[in-house]
């Protein structure tokens, strides 16, 4: 029994595959493997020469003292009894709120009533017979 690689009949079934180059499309530059060890060693030496700034630094005992510092800040804030958050309303604000909203709605509805431009004078229909 022939393997699929030997039996090329499937190429006839799929004509698009005939257009594909059967050679290996992947290439390696000349001398790649001969120079690989030298390049690897030079890169490792180059990395050793770079200056390490240390990046971000954390003060000594920072994490040991963090919980104590947080608790002390909370205690100080509680001792100062800071209640002024910058938001304040007058004493009866919520008692008057419903009435204020209703009056504003009534004013807006009255202001939005459109007139058609036609008005009937007072007593027009009562005096109509006399005017005819």
- Give the count of domains, the chain: 1
- Burial level of 33, CB count in 10 A (0-12/13-18/19+)? exposed
Within a domain: residue 92?
A: no
Within a domain: residue 124?
A: no
Averaged pLDDT of the chain: 83
Domain with 20, as residue range(s), is: 1-34
Within a domain: residue 111?
A: no
pLDDT, one tens digit per residue, over 44-100 is: 888 878 777 777 888 999 999 999 999 999 888 877 776 666 788 888 999 999 999
The residues, any chain, with a CB within 8 Å of residue 18's CB and separated by 6 or more, are: 11
Mean pLDDT of 30-44: 91
Is the pLDDT reported for residue 1 higher than 60? no
Q: Which two tokens stand for residue 80?
A: 């100062």
Provide the pLDDT for residue 38: 92
Within a domain: residue 95?
A: no
Instruction: Give whole-number Cα distances, 9 to 12, 17, 49, in Å.
Output: 5, 12, 60
The pTM for the full model equals: 0.26
Within a domain: residue 23?
A: yes
């Amino acid at each position: 029994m022939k393997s699929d690689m030997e039996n090329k009949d499937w190429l006839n079934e799929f004509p698009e595959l005939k257009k594909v180059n059967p050679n290996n499309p992947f290439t390696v530059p000349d001398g790649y493997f001969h120079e690989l060890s030298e390049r690897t060693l030079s890169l490792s030496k180059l990395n050793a020469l770079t200056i390490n700034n240390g990046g971000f630094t954390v003060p000594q005992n920072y994490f040991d003292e963090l919980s104590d510092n947080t608790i002390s800040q909370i205690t100080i804030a509680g001792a100062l009894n800071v209640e002024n958050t910058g938001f304040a309303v007058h004493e009866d604000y919520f008692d008057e709120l419903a009435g204020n909203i209703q009056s504003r709605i009534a004013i807006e509805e009255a202001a939005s009533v459109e007139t058609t431009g036609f008005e009937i004078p007072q007593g027009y229909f009562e005096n109509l017979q006399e005017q005819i």
